[in-house]
Structure 1
Amino acid sequence: ATLTGQWDTLQTNAGRYTYQQNLWGAHSPGASGFQSSTLPDRILTSNTKSPKPATSVSWTTTYSWTGGPYQVKSYANAARNLHKLPLTQIKAIPSFWTWHYAAASANLVADVSYDLWLSPSASGSGADASSSFEIMVWLSTRGGAGPAGTRVGGMTYNGVKWGLWKGNVGTWVVYSFVAEREITRWSGDMLAFVNYLVKKQGLPRNHYLVQAQAGTEPFVGSATLVTEAY
C-alpha cells in the first residue's frame, strides 16, 4: 500500500500499529514538496534476542521539500496502538528499530526519532491540547536539524551519550534526547528516558502514556528512508 494524502493512515500488523503520513507542516509559509510512504503486504518477524519473538513492521518514506527551512514538514511514522496507562503502571517500553537512508540529498535537514506523548488523562490522544508532555528520542540528525528549546542536561544510556533539550510546542512541554552519533540499529527500553525525566526534570509519574510513535521529520531536502524492521 502506498500513501500519498496529507493525512492518510493505514492499520497494519493485525491492528497493532497505525501508519501515518502526517504532513502536518506541508503548508507552512514558503513550503513546497511531496511525500509518499509505502508499506509491504507482509508481516515481518523479528530476529532479535527478545524473550518472546515479536512481529514487526517495515516501511519506506520518500520525500522532497523546499522552503521554510526552520519548519518541519511532516512526521511519517508508525504509531503503536496502546492500552493507555499511567507511568506508574508501566514496567518497560522495549523497542527495536533498524533503518537506513537509501538516498539522501546533500542539503538534507531532517531527524529520525521516537515520539512519546503524555496526558493527564487516559482520554488524551497526543499532539493536541490534551497533551501535557512530548518526549522525543532522536536517533539521527542531519544538516543541522535541532530540537525545540534549549539544552538542559544529558545522560548516557545503552552506550550512547544523549543531550537533552527542553522547549514548548503548542500547549505542551517537549523534551528531546539527541544521540551524539547516528544510530541506524537501535534496541533498548524507552522507559529509561522517561525515568530520567522523572528524576531530573520532575516529570509527573501519574500522567498517562497515550501515544508512542517512530518516524522521521524532514525540514528541507530529498531522501528515501527505509525501515527494515520496527
Structure 2
Amino acid sequence: MFVGQSVLATPLAVDNSSSGLEKRFSILSGQWDSESEGSGRYTLYNNLWGQSYDTSGKQSTQATSYSGTTLAWKTTYSWAGSSSQVKSYADVTLNTGLGKQLSAISSIPSTWKWSYTSASSSLIADVSYDLWLSNSASGTGSSSTSTYEIMIWLSSRGGAGPAGSQIGTATVGGRSWKLYKGTVSTWTVYSFVATSEITSYSGDLKAFFTYLSSSQGLSTSQYLVAAQAGTEPFVGSATLTTSAYTISVN
C-alpha cells in the first residue's frame, strides 16, 4: 500500500566501485527518497510511510540495473514494533500509459523475478503489486480520489495478511488465489493472495480486473491511475532483490 508523500527527497549518492553497481544509481535511505529510472518510465521509492511505528528501524533501496524497459533493484530493511503494522512499501511506480479506463486497456503485461537473499526467521512481510483506480483520469493512488485498490500478493511470509476478510478463492492467469475484500480510508481494497509463493511471475494483470468485473461488479469505466510493485514489511529483517521487473499498460 502506497501511503507516501509527493516530496522527492535528494537521494544519497554512493560510490559503487566495490559493489559492481553502476554509479548512476543512488542509495535511497531517507523516508521519502525516490529516484527516476529509465528516463522517467519508472520511479523507485524508499517510502517509509509507517516509520513512526518503529523509529529505530532502517531501510535502504537501490536500483541495480536498467535495460530496455526492465528494472532491477533491491531493498534491505530491519523493522520491529507491532507485528500487525506495515512499516514501509519500497516500490517501483510506473509513469506511462496510465489514466485510461479499464474498458480501453487491452493488456497489462508484467514480469517480476525476485528473491530473498537474506530473511530473518521472524520476518512478516508481503511482496505485492498495488494497482489503483479512480472515477477520474486525473485521480491518484492512495488519496481522496481513489475508489479501488487492487493488490496482488505474490508472497505472504510469517502470517502477513491483507485488509479485510477472505470472501472466496479465484483462478486468474491459471493460478489459484485467495480473494480478500476490505476498506481502507475511503476506498475498497481487493487483494489476491497467492496460495503458494511466486518468485517468478509473468502474466497479464488485466485479467485480475476482468475477474473482478465479472464476479464483483467492478465497473470498467473506472480509470487505472497508478501501478506499483514492491514489498510491505511488518517486522523482521531481509534483503529483497528484484532481478527483473517490467510492466506496461496497453
TM band (smaller chain): over 0.9
**Is residue 150 of structure 1 aligned with residue 150 of structure 2?**
no
Match of 2:217 among 202, 207, 211: 202
Mapped partners of 1:138, 1:18: distance in 2: 21
Counterpart contact for 2:122–2:235, Cα < 8 Å:
yes
Q: Does 1:72 align with 2:86?
A: yes
Match of 2:37 in 1: 12
- Higher mean C-alpha deviation, range 30-39 or range 193-202: 30-39
**Fraction of identical pairs, as percent:** 56
Paired residue type of 2:87: K
Aligned counterparts of 2:67 and 2:201: Cα–Cα separation in 1: 17
The AA in structure 1 aligned to 2:27 is: T
Partner of residue 36 from structure 1, selected from 41, 55, 60: 60
Pair 1:91 & 2:94 matched: no
2:74 aligns with: 60
CA deviation profile, 1:68-106 (whole Å, cap 9, x unmatched):
210100100001113310111001000000000000000
Distance 1:13 1:99 in 2: 19
| Cα distance in 1 for residues equivalent to 2:55 and 2:169 | 33
Structure 1 alignment gaps of length 5 or more? 46-54
TM norm structure 2: 0.85
SS of match in other structure, 1:73: coil
**CA RMSD across the alignment:** 1.1
Which residue identity lines up with residue 33 of structure 1 in the other structure?
Answer: G
The aligned amino acid for 2:88 is S
SS of 2:231's partner is strand
Does the Cα contact within 8 Å between 1:31 and 1:68 map onto a contact in 2? no
Shift of 1:31: 5.6
Structure 2 residue 161 is the aligned partner of structure 1 residue 138: no
CA contact (8 A) 2:173 2:204 kept: no
Say whether the 8 Å CA contact 2:112–2:200 is kept in structure 1. yes
Aligned letter for 2:116? Y
Contact 1:73/1:218, CA 8 A, preserved across alignment: yes
| 2:192 pairs with 1:169 | no
Alpha-carbon distance in structure 2 between the residues aligned to 1:25 and 1:130? 21
Which amino acid in structure 1 is aligned with residue 187 of structure 2? W
Secondary structure of 1:222's partner?
strand
CA-CA distance at 1:152 after TM superposition: 1.0
1:49 counterpart residue number = none
Structure 2 residue ranges without an equivalent (≥5)? 1-25, 246-250
Q: How far does the alpha carbon of each residue in 1:18-74 deviate from its partner, in whole angstroms, 9 at most, with x for none?
A: 11111111113x56401000112x4235xxxxxxxxx20010100000002101001
Cα distance in 2 for partners of 1:58, 1:184 equals: 14
Q: Distance in 2 between matches of 1:196 and 1:158?
A: 10
* Separation of aligned partners in 1, 2:56 and 2:80: 5
Structure 1 counterpart of 2:203:
188
